[in-house]
Amino acid sequence: MELAVELGEGFADDEVTVLVDGQEEWHRTGVTTNYSVGIADVARISGEPGALVEVRVRDLAGRREVGEDARLRADIDVSGKKLALGAASQGDIF
Amino acid sequence: MTAIEPNAALQGSTSLDLEPRTSPADAESSLGTQTGREADPSGPSFGSATVADRYASDLTTADLLGQTDGTAQREALAPGAPAAAPIPLPFRTTSGRYRSQAVGFQLELRIDVDGRRPLRRLSGDYFNISGGTVSYFGSWTVDAVTVTTNATHVKIVGTARTTWTTTFTVATVTVPRTPIFQPAGPATIRWSTPSGAIGATYVCGWEAGAFRTVELEQDCESSVTPFAQYNTGALPSGGPARTLSIGTAYAEAGVQMVDTGGANIISTPSNHVWNNASLHHAMEAHFSRRQERPQFKVWLLHAQRHEFTTATSTLLGIMFDQQGLQRQGCATFYERIAGNSPVNQRRQLYTNVHELGHCLNLFHSFHKNRMDPPMPNRPGSLSWMNYPSMYDPGGGAPAGDGPFWAAFPFQFDDLELAHLRHGFRNNVIMGGNPFGKGAASQEGEEFAALLSDTTGLKLRISQAAGDMPVLGTPVVLEIDLTVERPQQVHTREQLHPKFGFVQVAINRPRGDVVVHEPTVRHCAEPDLLACDSGTRLPISAYIGYDATVGQVFEDPGTYRIRAVYAAPNGSLVVSNTATIRVAAPRSTQDDRAADLLLNNQTGMAFALQGTDSPYLVQGTDALRTVADEYREHPGAVYARFALGMNAARSFSTVEPDGSVHVREPDLGRADSLLWDAINMSREDGGLDDLTVYQAGAYLAEAHAKAGDTDGAHGVRAEIRQLAQSKNAPESVVHSLDE
């Protein structure tokens, strides 16, 4: 199924790689959060339930097994030391 | 202060008595520069000042008659007529935007003391008028004012923080009070230093009731019916019922949104989906007023759908312009909020006002900690910039959509309002600073909010010399790192802020925060030291002069200082908050010495620990004057220290023909000045201990370099003994070893 991995807060001109089961599926440089929506970019990849999605940026990495959610979200905290990869929230963005 | 800057007294500027001798009408007619705009819904007559603010008990209808036709007198009223109770006449509000004449520096002055949601602030932008060109010079803001009102005038006083360096920071504004039937009088602003020296005066004609005017160009995708207006009483809310459009919503904030009309209809294929690149391209193609320069002009596209919208999440709007000069365009997406239902109309209003808020450099209420500099988040804010679903007033109070809409009064919160009305121009104007930079007019303790502490290292800072410094005294900070468990840290010398491993932030009494930028940066590989538990590494650093803002401690008052150390393992160690109170000059002598020491050249010369540079000759002369003629001033010993350090070393000057002239060290003068400074500091007062040791070590080295081994040995031994007698930490005593 198609997965949308939202690259959310804390990205600043970053090089980001998204892997599925260790295989690089998406790669982009210059990824920067737009805080008017709290999203830097959306990586659209293929991944079946049970697959392991990994987001790598700087020296950080976040991993999550694909479940029923078709949307995941990666945020870097304000200290820049932690990357959280979880289910994307639902609702309006603006 | 001799630099050409707008707050200093200008050649040819008028020295005005701030108690006007003419009537407001006279003053205005002599000024002749009224440029009031029509259709300004937030103009004075629309203000909502309190009765006490707006009405004058000493003006009556009879007065009005006399003032409006110039002939009618009280006596002309029918004799014997029953004495009617005076009907108080409302005054115009003072708040609004004023502008001085376009000569030299032109000032756009914003006064915010009455009217709708007064913030009791002043602000302004200076423009440099040169021939046919106008360029932006800088901005200033007074965050808190004292307002005095009498029957005829409003007087407003406060201390400004500025985008440039000036000692003329005290603003005194006087505005005549005029009845609403008369044109507004001019505002006169006079600058002075905290010690009372008079600077420039500007007379500014009333321009508009709005603090800012923004030109809004709206285009629309062919399938969209754009939002027009919403009655806030259609659904329960927290404010009075009224009809709001984009324009009136911003007018309530004091920002005039002028719809430039002529909306383009942008034809797109059915089911067209926008992305950020196509939005930016559309802006370039359709925003007729767009230019590659900052301007208060913005483009809003009413569109259908963005690619970020998914089955479970809707992107309602975006400020998409994050390339080059940012924040010039935004879009609202109607796919899921179209139609005339009150809920959708309310959503449309909210989204449109919200996106334009981003263009004015406002962050979400829950993203304030991501701004540069950061502020605490305000999830409980009832603001256009929150997400209703994210609303959380805390304390267990109801949160989320329902409670938000029930309480939302359709407005920005106070700090956002301060930013919109009084933020420095480049922090607000479209195409100014990048999105998020300078996005708040009030800055907090960002170090505390952003950084976390670690165990094993302790950073303490304090004012190096114990006394309360009188204005002008160089401020030296002691930075003391204690190692609580064995580990590697930077050497003592590299803890000086000039190496960049320690950063210092200073919260000034004028309300701003200076993240200290030393005038000289040392780019060095980290020099690490293996330390045992209990090792103390203290270093002193002069922080009085800054590469960005110039003199840091130029006002009497309380300064709060914090430092952060970036340890080799990546930990960020935050210090305590040190408080330094700078005393006002206590005598004329103090005042004169402060003027000399607060000169920017003096600050730079001191930061360099003395110099022969012809470009800083005024600063060096000031140091000499203070050292010789103001010996009682606490700054005198620092002046001797800087002059002595400079004398102890050579100075190379590159001549215009390319040859190099070297002035050799003058050890005799260095000995005289530095021993004088050291001896003045042996007991209470004078230099702080670490600076004394530094002076001694430097002098010893100068003697050694000159081949005077015995002299060097003698100086070093004496200083080492002094350090031991004062129980200096081992690392300091060790640094004085031969």
Q: What is the ipTM of this complex?
A: 0.94
Least confident of A52-61, B78-87, B235-244, B710-719: B78-87
Contact call for B370 and A78, based on CB within 8 A: yes
pLDDT in tens, A14-41: 999 999 999 999 999 999 999 999 999 9
**Residues B663 and B714: beta-carbon distance below 8 Å:** no
Higher pLDDT, A22 or B464: A22
Query: What is the interface size between A and B, counted as CB pairs within 8 Å?
Result: 74
Average pLDDT over residues B387-394: 94
Under a CB-based contact definition with an 8 Å cutoff, are residues A34 and A28 in contact?
no
**B349 phi, psi to nearest 5 deg:** -60, -50
**Quick check: is A28 in a domain?**
yes
Residues 6 or more apart whose CB falls under 8 angstroms from that of B21 comprise: none
- Residue-number span of the structural domain to which A21 is assigned: 2-69
Instruction: Identify the residue with better confidence: A67 or B11.
Output: A67
Cβ–Cβ of B308/A42 closer than 8 Å? yes
Cβ of B319 within 8 Å of Cβ of A10? The answer is no
Identify the helix (H) or strand (E) that includes residue A58.
Answer: none
The Cα-based distances of B38 to B31, B35, B45, B260 in angstroms read 20, 10, 12, 14
Structurally, chain A folds into a number of domains equal to 1
Give the H or E element holding residue B637: helix B635-647
Q: What pLDDT does B571 receive?
A: 66
Going by the DSSP 8-state scheme, the letter that residue B475 receives in this structure is P
Does the distance separating the beta carbons of B315 and A37 come in below 8 Å?
Answer: yes
Instruction: State how far the Cα of B516 lies from the Cα of B546, in Å rounded to an integer.
Output: 6
CB contact, 8 Å: B369 with chain A? yes
Domains and CATH numbers, chain B: 24-208 (no CATH), 212-428 (3.40.390), 444-584 (2.60.40.2970), 586-738 (1.25.40)
Strand partners, B300: B218, B330
A23 in reach of chain B (CB within 8 A): no
Predicted pLDDT at B253? 98
Residues of A in contact with B364 (CB under 8 A): 35, 38
Instruction: Note whether residue A93 is domain-resident.
Output: no
| Closest C-alpha to B44, from B202, B247, B203, B211 | B211
The residue among B305, B308, B446, B452 with the most chain A CBs within 10 A of its CB, best to mutate, is B308
pLDDT of residue B364: 96
- Over chain B, what is the mean pLDDT? 84
**A31 at interface of B, judged by CB pairs closer than 8 A:** no
User: CB-based burial of residue A57 (10 Å sphere; 0-12 exposed, 13-18 middle, 19+ buried)?
Assistant: buried
Tokens of B458: 């302790």
Whether A87 is in a domain gets the answer no
- Per-window interface: B 408-447 vs A, CB < 8 A: 435-436
Q: Which residues of A touch B369 (CB under 8 A)?
A: 78
**Quick one: tokens of B595?**
């003027």
| B315 contact A CB<8A | yes
- Whether B318 and chain A come into contact, CB under 8 Å, resolves to yes
- Per the domain annotation, does A85 fall within a domain? no
Query: Chain A interface, mutation test: which of B312, B372, B384, most A Cβ atoms within 10 Å?
Result: B312
**Residue contact A92–B316, C-beta within 8 A:** yes
B280 inside 8 A of chain A by CB: no
Domain for residue A23, yes or no? yes
Q: Which residue has the higher pLDDT, B430 or B450?
A: B430
Distance CA A59, CA B538 (A): 33
Chain A contact set for B319 (CB, 8 A):
34, 36
A79 is a domain residue: no
| Token couple for B96 | 């609004």
List residues bridging with B732 in a β-sheet: none
Whether A93 sits inside 8 A of B314 (CB atoms) is: yes
B616 φ, ψ to 5°?
A: -120, 25
d(CA A25, CA A61) in angstroms, rounded, equals 15
Average pLDDT over residues B352-367: 97
What is the structure's pLDDT at B84? 60
List the structure tokens of B685. Answer: 């007062």
Residue A90 resides in a domain: no
pLDDT, residue B394, reads 86
Per the CB < 8 Å rule, is A90 touching B313? yes
Judged by CB atoms closer than 8 Å, whether chains meet at A78 and B355 is answered as: no
Give the nearest partner residue to B450 out of A9, A78, A88, using CB atoms.
A78
Highest mean pLDDT: which range of B4-18, B434-448, B453-467: B453-467
Q: Please check whether residue A47 lies inside any domain of the structure.
A: yes
The answer to whether B323 faces chain A, any CB pair under 8 Å, is no
